[in-house]
Structure 1
């Protein structure tokens, strides 16, 4: 999805670098066009194996996400806010995985260990947007489940499909603006290094390469992250506790159904938050002296968990969605069999 634009940008800047190579020693301010992703160097000894693994993960994730989106779109019985939010989650996973896995596959297969500045900034924008959208979507899903369980008679007026779509539109708009500001703040920096301890680009890795004042970047990044993460955790915990309290008062059958849905949300949300916090704050551990291998393990595993686990859990644990997905797959297989 995003691989084409990333590779086109890299090709353009390869041409521009060749034309301006004679001026390479004039200044260090943004004449660094390519950055070394040292994580790719650490994977070189098994790069073909890792390349195949990345490709399989990408294709399987895209297939599962596409199936979920198609089933929710095609089945009228699933046209309610909860499934709209699930669609947004898996759609966002498709964007996040497309910003990471295809390029990783190509880099490993070709042996390329560098990335150009424009491509790096683009990848950082989409990966950071992916994480932010996931957090806020989980938050609004917790609110939705609390309204559904706590106010069943008023739920369809409190949370309509239109309101769900409007909420997601606001989330996407706000996050796009805030992440864009974060990326633009990097553009103003004087970068005096080109070594990134990762296999993909992120704003924090680029900020650490600045040799001038980066106080504004750090203040903005910390404030934005803390506001979003702490705000989300407070809202989600409050909604989950209130929902559990309500579940204790309703009938056993309704309570079991509500708790099953709630457990699914808790598993995906907590897993995602732990993985994201490890990735986001790994530079703060041990005064930033983590080894390259440790950086690689934390950053790759954290992002892969976020990308692969959410659609898998929702596809398996959400009963109505799981049944519709199985029926759709059987129907597709049956049509192919008849076609043969």
Structure 2
């Protein structure tokens, strides 16, 4: 009976309630951003898939990053637009847990993929002769598979640990579900959840940051010794990764530690504004930065787009 009551439990998304006075405007903006980013991301994935010259580990990782962004985009932005459009301000507990799993899995995959991309560039710059054997297309897909299995297992465990609780509250002060928000509503001792969540978050973030810093330093040191043309190309790619990784790191850390440190002093409107701002930044980041800064990919995308438009 307890499990049945949990399944039929509905939670109120207070953030959406606060947006109801201009919900059609917000829904329109959310859906426009969603459609534009999905078109851009789809073009990037199609270009990488259809162009044999882009069948390289770096572009495979970019494709994985973009597909992950599309999944995250659909889990949050599309749902937000639909909720506002049809005035849905509640979500079932099952749906909430599923959304939390999707959001946090996508965030974890993003971290790991950024880290692997930096490591890939480190191998290409620091070990150019061995790179073709160290990082093949097959190995790139193996890395993506292992990354996916680890994320599903670790985040699935975090969500399962939350799902065991009964809830003492029914209101979520944002527009989407995460395990952090559900823990604030849980009845009972959440020590195990807090320890597991803290260890998982710190090991993942600190581990990724350490690998990224090491690869950046080694790559920069090698770049200083090569010709100006090779140095410029390597630094251009490196800067692209630095911008995307730093931006994503800042936005996700802000949202994560806002819950860890408590957000009681912030109004619901402030929390919604911060959440949406971080969401839009992370959603637009991949297609804009990689679509604009990666010259080879940009040229191929424009050519594909023109071909589609003229046929």
Normalised by the length of structure 1, the TM-score is 0.88
1:214 counterpart (167, 170, 190): 190
1:77 counterpart (53, 60, 68): 53
1:30–1:83 distance in 2 versus 1, CA, 3 Å: same
In the alignment, what sits opposite 1:245? 221
1:37–1:287 distance in 2 versus 1, CA, 3 Å: closer
RMSD: 1.7
After TM superposition, give the deviation of residue 189 of structure 1 in Å. 1.1
After TM superposition, give the deviation of residue 287 of structure 1 in Å. 6.3
In the alignment, what sits opposite 1:114? 90
The answer to whether the 8 A contact 1:136-1:171 is kept is yes
Q: Which moved more, 1:64-73 or 1:32-41?
A: 32-41
In the alignment, what sits opposite 1:38? 14
The answer to whether the 8 A contact 2:61-2:117 is kept is yes
The answer to whether the 8 A contact 1:73-1:79 is kept is yes
- Structure 1 residue runs of 5 or longer lacking an equivalent are 1-22, 336-340
After TM superposition, give the deviation of residue 130 of structure 1 in Å. 0.6
1:58 counterpart (34, 40, 56): 34
Summarize the alignment of residues 272-287 of structure 1 with structure 2, pairs less than 5 Å apart: 272-285=248-261
- Structure 2 residue runs of 5 or longer lacking an equivalent are none
Q: Which moved more, 1:294-303 or 1:49-58?
A: 294-303
SS in 2 for 1:153: coil
After TM superposition, give the deviation of residue 32 of structure 1 in Å. 6.7
1:156 counterpart (128, 132, 143): 132
2:68 counterpart (92, 95, 100): 92
> In 2, Cα distance between the equivalents of 1:137 and 1:70?
19
2:281 counterpart (295, 305, 312): 305
1:234 counterpart (185, 207, 210): 210
SS in 2 for 1:36: strand
Q: CA deviation digits over 1:64-109, x for unaligned, max 9?
A: 1110111111111111000000000000001101111221111111
1:198 counterpart (169, 174, 194): 174
> In 2, Cα distance between the equivalents of 1:284 and 1:184?
19
Summarize the alignment of residues 8-23 of structure 1 with structure 2, pairs less than 5 Å apart: none
Q: CA deviation digits over 1:173-192, x for unaligned, max 9?
A: 10001111111111111211
The answer to whether the 8 A contact 1:282-1:288 is kept is no
The answer to whether the 8 A contact 1:71-1:328 is kept is yes
Matched, 1:145 2:134: no
1:32–1:194 distance in 2 versus 1, CA, 3 Å: farther
The answer to whether the 8 A contact 2:7-2:93 is kept is no
Normalised by the length of structure 2, the TM-score is 0.96
